[in-house]
Amino acid sequence: MKLNRREFLTLTGKTTAGAVIFAACGLPERELIVQSPVDLPEDLVRGEDAWYATSMGDFTNGDGVLVRVMEGRAKKIEGNPDHPVNRGKSTARYDSVLQLLYHPDRISDPMRRFSKGGNLVDISWRQAEAQFQDALVNANGSLTVVTNPLRGHLGSVASKFAAKFNGRHMSFDPIEQGVLHGAVKSVLGQDQLPTFDIANASTVLSFGADWLGTWGSPAQFGVKYGEFRSQGNRGYLIHADPRMSLTAAAADLWLAPKPGTEGDLALGIASVIVKEGLASVANIAAFNAALPGGLSGYSVAEVAGKTEIPAARIEKAARHFAGNTPAVAFGGGSAGAHTNGSFNLGAIYSLNLLVGAVGARGGVTANPGSAFEDISASATGASFESWEAELAQWRAGNVETVIIRGVDIVYGMPNSVAVREALDNVPNVITFGAVLDDTMAFADLVLPELTFLETWGTDIPEPGPGYQVVGIQQPVVGPTVTQDETGLISNARGFGDMLLAMAGGSFGSSMERIVMDAVSELHDTGRGSVSASSSALFMNGVLQRGGWWDTGEKGAQGTAGRISTTTKSAGYSDTNALGTGEDFHLVPFVSNSLFDGRLAATPWAQQTPDPISSASWSTWAEINSQQAKELGIRQGDVLLIRSTSGEIEALAYPHPGIRPGVIGVPIGQGHAEGGRWAEGRGSNVLSILVDKKDSETGALAWAATRVRVQRAGRRVKVPKYEGEVEARAAEPGVPILVVGPGETAEQAEKANHHEYQGSLFKDD
């Protein structure tokens, strides 16, 4: 009998090569049935572990990880030190993903509803396949495949599958819907997100993007930040954000502009640089070419009035940015989430033209395209405008079958688009996932999906490190037997493998075969990080390293373009008809642990404290402490936060790290489904966002919502880790030595010790 890699791993924790040798010995048939039981027999627990390299798939922007496996069970996920993206570093999210693998509420078998709104009933995979096939036959020409943004071969499989049945493949991301990619393309002429060479910059100027906490790959940026601070001059970080994110807390200079005026602030900084001649004539000319109309209307005084930031702080930021090069400027997150988001980000990225940062060390560098012809190196969610049009087709009954994987569109979309009603009008809704979510409550067929630790795949990091990288995802564990040993925790299948099977193998037999063919294609190029005499040895080398990269394949710098000036001023929703309360500007922010809600099912993510408030297990609302005092709001007061799209509750968290007039609410809680640790916990801030859109791309302007806030009349203790110690004025003591900046204790003693002591006790 053939002994595959996962079966061998279950028994011994040895290597693939060992499995081949061991299989030749002819093991007894009955020993092969041991598959990662919950309670292992004593004679099987050997205390040996193995580490396997893979990619995180849906939970990072291409981070490479190592998974520690003992007796066939994944125990720990750490950063892969060999991977060029995160270079061995990790985040708190890594371990939380393990809990999805062994979640007690993990979907065990396929389930179906016999009528809309009915109960889910367990069925066999044979029945599920038959229902799936019937839905495809009926849906030819009226099919939509919905996934999270995918850059690897899984995305290619989803697109080819949709095309085979004359349907559409649409990506959904509640936060990033193309504004950032559009601005980079417009201003820098680059198709992929560029590399920000933070490590070699003397000054970093960032807007909105919490790159040390939640934006892009925080593990990747964290490595660069450590190198940035390790320089002789320690580097200087300027961050603009209405609320104190983790990045803002680490900044040397924090600017808190009025939401939606980030582009004005960027051009105000540019105005100072141009006026004072802090940039070269050539760089100023390049910048002026990108800005139709020039800097008229962006004097420091005018920008200070728009942004509500003192002119002196704007000038300080400008002089330091231009006077301490190499410098790099970038933005994203809330800065691009306004009706003028394209203008904001365009203005921000154009600052790189002023300081000669494009293509320079310590600046912004282009990333190359994909190593595969038919695989994209860039991906983002479809625009909100596109989704409004798509959902209108669902509501009209023009779409027969919708297949959903990797996204919870019911949770992630605002109430204004009525996605629940749209799903009710689709005859066949088929969903894949590990744990039930809000969208599955409207599904006709629910299929348990294997996690990234159990399946094959590829990923292309974005942003990459400045050269071609392909991350390889491989299965590191086998099926896990239930506690009573009567079955498997989840009789799941891979999404890609299921689509390939339903397509009759017309564009691939399995994801494993597709990945192996792709790696063989890389071997044929004769370049990159792995060298081998055969495709088989090359495959082993790529799997052991967690991927393939070619440091010699650089990106080509694009031609600088223009800033979008279609809409320069931000528009906000109206609050006049919202009843009593105080008006605030709502700024949702991505949770450091729950992400956008996809990890809410895991208790480790729920209990991980927010790095700023230390809150957990709840939805809180950050409000300026002085403004809260004026309004009589105390910590733990239940606040009613109301927009024209709905109302949520949140616990008040007054603190000084947010500008007055702004209320910050984390994304991630408020699920109706999601397992025992997520259901009915907190509130979903995404649900009350209004349908404002970026004027250029049609993306959801998720930071353009104005809300009315009032106390609900009750209080709840905020679950958090920080204490309640009040600050007290310190009584100065008598020092025995005064040590100046850059001075050692020995030098200070020689210079001033006796003189200082004498001045304290001399007779008057």
Least confident span in 10-24, 154-168, 344-358, 680-694:
10-24
Q: Is there a domain that residue 108 lies in?
A: no
49 and 132 belong to one structural domain: no
Q: Is there a domain that residue 375 lies in?
A: no
481 and 521 belong to one structural domain: yes
Q: Is there a domain that residue 373 lies in?
A: no
288 and 318 belong to one structural domain: yes
Alpha helices in 355-436 (DSSP H): 384-395, 409-412, 419-424
76 and 90 belong to one structural domain: yes
416 and 473 belong to one structural domain: no
Check: CB of residue 725 under 8 Å from CB of residue 678: no
More confident residue, 723 or 263: 263
Q: Is there a domain that residue 307 lies in?
A: yes
Least confident span in 89-103, 275-289, 643-657:
89-103
Average pLDDT over residues 707-734: 79
Q: Is there a domain that residue 371 lies in?
A: no
Q: Is there a domain that residue 370 lies in?
A: no
Q: What percentage of the chain reaches a pLDDT higher than 90?
A: 79
Residue 403 has pLDDT above 70, yes or no: yes
Q: What is the CATH number of the domain that holds 302?
A: 3.40.228.10
pLDDT at position 138 is 83
pLDDT at position 739 is 78
Confidence of residue 141 (pLDDT cuts 50, 70, 90): confident
Average pLDDT, the chain: 89
pLDDT tens digits, residue range 597-608?
999 999 999 999
Residue 17 has pLDDT above 70, yes or no: no
Average pLDDT over residues 303-310: 97
78 and 214 belong to one structural domain: no
Backbone angles phi, psi at 546, to 5 degrees: 85, 10
pLDDT at position 724 is 62
Confidence of residue 59 (pLDDT cuts 50, 70, 90): confident
pLDDT tens digits, residue range 245-293?
999 999 999 999 999 999 999 999 999 999 999 999 999 999 999 998 8
- Give the CA angle between residues 26, 28, 30 to the nearest 5°: 145
Check: CB of residue 687 under 8 Å from CB of residue 645: yes
Check: CB of residue 703 under 8 Å from CB of residue 587: yes
153 and 206 belong to one structural domain: no
Q: Which amino acid is at 495?
A: F
pLDDT tens digits, residue range 606-625?
999 999 999 999 999 999 99
pLDDT at position 752 is 64
* Coil/strand/helix, residue 313: helix
475 and 526 belong to one structural domain: yes
More confident residue, 232 or 487: 232
Q: Is there a domain that residue 726 lies in?
A: no
Average pLDDT over residues 564-578: 92
Q: What percentage of the chain reaches a pLDDT higher than 70?
A: 90
pLDDT at position 39 is 59
Q: What is the CATH number of the domain that holds 684?
A: 2.40.40.20
pLDDT tens digits, residue range 654-686?
999 999 999 999 999 999 999 999 999 999 999
Least confident span in 65-74, 152-161, 237-246, 394-403:
65-74
Q: Which amino acid is at 308?
A: E
Q: Which are the contacts of 375, defined by CB distance < 8 A and separation ≥ 6? A: 151, 152, 153, 155, 156, 458, 460
Least confident span in 95-99, 295-299, 738-742:
738-742
Dihedral sign of CA atoms 150, 155, 156, 160 in order = negative
Residue 40 has pLDDT above 80, yes or no: no
597 and 540 belong to one structural domain: no
Distance CA 286, CA 455 (A): 48
Q: Look up the domain containing 663 and give its range.
A: 582-715
Least confident span in 40-54, 70-84, 341-355, 744-758:
744-758
Q: Which are the contacts of 47, defined by CB distance < 8 A and separation ≥ 6? A: 70
Q: Is there a domain that residue 725 lies in?
A: no
Q: How many residues does the chain have?
A: 764
Confidence of residue 357 (pLDDT cuts 50, 70, 90): very high
pLDDT at position 24 is 35
Check: CB of residue 367 under 8 Å from CB of residue 377: yes
DSSP secondary structure string for all residues of 551-585: EEEEPPPPPP-----S--S------TTS-SSEEEE
pLDDT at position 474 is 95
pLDDT at position 27 is 35
- Structurally, how many domains does the chain consist of? 5
More confident residue, 10 or 696: 696
208 and 247 belong to one structural domain: yes
pLDDT at position 294 is 87
212 and 357 belong to one structural domain: yes
Distance CA 44, CA 64 (A): 30
256 and 360 belong to one structural domain: yes
Residue 157 has pLDDT above 90, yes or no: yes
pLDDT at position 481 is 74
The candidate with the shortest Cα–Cα distance to 471, out of 492, 493, 456, is 456
